[in-house]
Amino acid sequence: MPKKVGIRREDKAFELRTPIVPSDVLKLAKEHGFEFVVEPSEQRAFSEEAYREVGASVGDLHGTEPQVIFGIKEIPKEVFEREKVYLFFAHVIKGQKYNMAMLKQILDVGASLIDYECIVEVETGRRLVFFGNWAGYAGMAETLRGLGERLNEQGVAPNPFADLKPTYQYSGIEELQTAVSAIGKRIQAEGFAYELAPLVVGFIGYGNTSRGAQAIFDLLPHKTVSPAELPHLTSDNHLLYKVVFREEDTVRPKDSKATFDLQDYYDHGKATYQSAFPQYLPNISVLMNCIYWSDKYPRMVTKQELKKLWNQTGGKPRLIIVGDISCDIHGAIEFTVQCTKPDHPTFVYHPDMDEATMGISGDGVVVMAVDNLPTELPRDASTSFSETLQRFIPALVNADYSVPFEQLDLPPEVKKAVIVYRGTLTPEYEYLKKYL
């Protein structure tokens, strides 16, 4: 009998992505004889008819045959079924409190969980199935739009950033790139308000997310500088400055006699290192946070450091907006106090009041913190993701999930991502017990 594969509907508002696009359904069906069952969805970027045209059936997955079910975002607790295998971005490996009830339910019903985020090269830890670059594309565009709206609200002109639409209103990455390129031409021709110069955009991190954000930014006229150059930039209002911060720029050993060592930092985190990033804040206009963060590591910017900057500048810092693409609540950017959605992407954080107000108005620093940015470019992002995932799908679907975990025959990259197996935390993730 052909193996059946499930593709879930997404439950979260504004989540338009799909893990496997119709063209890859067709390819996998032809090459491996799989039959696909796709749950109906009124918001998915690819229509039900598009799946039917490639031979998939459309119907409810609950109580039906597919054992391996692919999704994107977190799944409601009541959906999980015994002995089924669920793949999605679970957001549990840091012990995220808001998803512990979901994880407990997976354990209680005897299901299995494989987290895309943990599918990595065994030797290097490099992620193999990801949306990071797409989060970067959309996050940079939404931050530039937020910048334009903030400048409009403050009556700052000329303001070439004001013409950007919400990212989800563009047909795809090509139309978005064209729109950002048009802003670049306006900057070259007309400039932006001289009071903004030098307009510095800083990127914390250099991985997939940062590279995606930089790819959009690089469509604007700019000059790349080092962190050490920031205090000495000239005030040119026909170009922007770009600076990329690496670990050696953002942290320093607590022991003044010690020297920075990357592996030592990864091993010990805030136990032996502290943030050195606040020294750059007075010279940054737009800050893009693109790093993986956990509580093991020091924050890049604390609420206290932002408050200090706010008071030192009389409530008028150079920093206008933070694009927190990583979107860890109270994380690397401590004043990211909430996540936002594509239709309301920003809030204003007031350092003295320690309060956030949705929108773009009011005293404080604007924060863009959309937690599902790739869904703003859903067709392109889904196609790219499906392409990286499909090479693992045959092994995932054909595996025998009745055997003990030690005998489970999956590629090592995928087996490393099995967080729960048949209702039990796997050895690598037993540490999550303390969060339950």
Q: What is the DSSP letter of 244?
A: E
Chain segment 134-165, per-residue pLDDT in tens: 999 999 999 999 999 999 999 999 999 999 99
Mark whether 229 and 150 lie in a shared domain: yes
pLDDT for 41: 97
Mean per-residue pLDDT, 385-400: 97
Mark whether 217 and 361 lie in a shared domain: yes
Three-class DSSP category at 114: strand
Answer yes or no: are the C-beta atoms of 323 and 113 closer than 8 Å: no
Chain segment 235-262, per-residue pLDDT in tens: 999 999 999 999 999 999 999 999 999 9
Asked if residue 126 is part of any domain, the answer here is no
Answer yes or no: are the C-beta atoms of 197 and 121 closer than 8 Å: no
pLDDT for 392: 98
Mark whether 372 and 382 lie in a shared domain: no
Answer yes or no: are the C-beta atoms of 164 and 181 closer than 8 Å: no
The residue type of 429 is Y
Mark whether 274 and 305 lie in a shared domain: yes
314 vs 322: CA distance, rounded Å: 19
Q: Identify the domain containing residue 68 by its residue range.
A: 4-119+378-435
Asked if residue 127 is part of any domain, the answer here is no
In terms of DSSP bridges, do strands 200-204 and 286-289 run parallel, antiparallel, or are they unpaired? parallel
Count the neighbouring beta carbons within 10 Å of the beta carbon of residue 52: 13
Mean per-residue pLDDT, 409-420: 98
Asked if residue 124 is part of any domain, the answer here is no
Q: Which of 376, 403, 427 is the last residue of a domain?
A: 376
The count of domains in the chain is 2
Mark whether 219 and 346 lie in a shared domain: yes
User: Is the model's pLDDT at 63 over the cut of 90?
Assistant: no
Asked if residue 383 is part of any domain, the answer here is yes
Q: Which of 376, 394, 419 is the last residue of a domain?
A: 376
Q: Which of 331, 353, 376 is the last residue of a domain?
A: 376
Asked if residue 125 is part of any domain, the answer here is no
Give the torsion sign (CA, 101, 19, 143, 262). positive
The answer for residues whose C-beta is within 8 angstroms of residue 384's C-beta and 6 or more apart is 131, 133, 134
Selection from 383, 379, 353, 355 nearest residue 367 by Cα: 355
Alpha helix locations (H) across 34-93? 48-53
Asked if residue 306 is part of any domain, the answer here is yes
Asked if residue 228 is part of any domain, the answer here is yes
Model pTM score: 0.94
Mark whether 298 and 393 lie in a shared domain: no
Mark whether 366 and 383 lie in a shared domain: no
Mark whether 80 and 225 lie in a shared domain: no
pLDDT band at 388 (very low <50, low <70, confident <90, very high): very high
Maximum Cα–Cα distance for the chain, whole Å? 71
Mark whether 230 and 254 lie in a shared domain: yes
The residue type of 335 is F
424 vs 291: CA distance, rounded Å: 30
pLDDT for 1: 78
* CATH, residue 90: 3.40.50.720
Mark whether 332 and 287 lie in a shared domain: yes
Selection from 331, 321, 330 nearest residue 284 by Cα: 321
Chain segment 320-375, per-residue pLDDT in tens: 999 999 999 999 999 999 999 999 999 999 999 999 999 999 999 999 999 999 99
Return mean pLDDT, the chain.
97
Mark whether 26 and 72 lie in a shared domain: yes
In 3-state terms the chain splits into helix, strand, coil percentages (rounded to 5) of: 40, 15, 45
In terms of DSSP bridges, do strands 418-421 and 112-115 run parallel, antiparallel, or are they unpaired? antiparallel
Asked if residue 60 is part of any domain, the answer here is yes
Mark whether 140 and 220 lie in a shared domain: yes
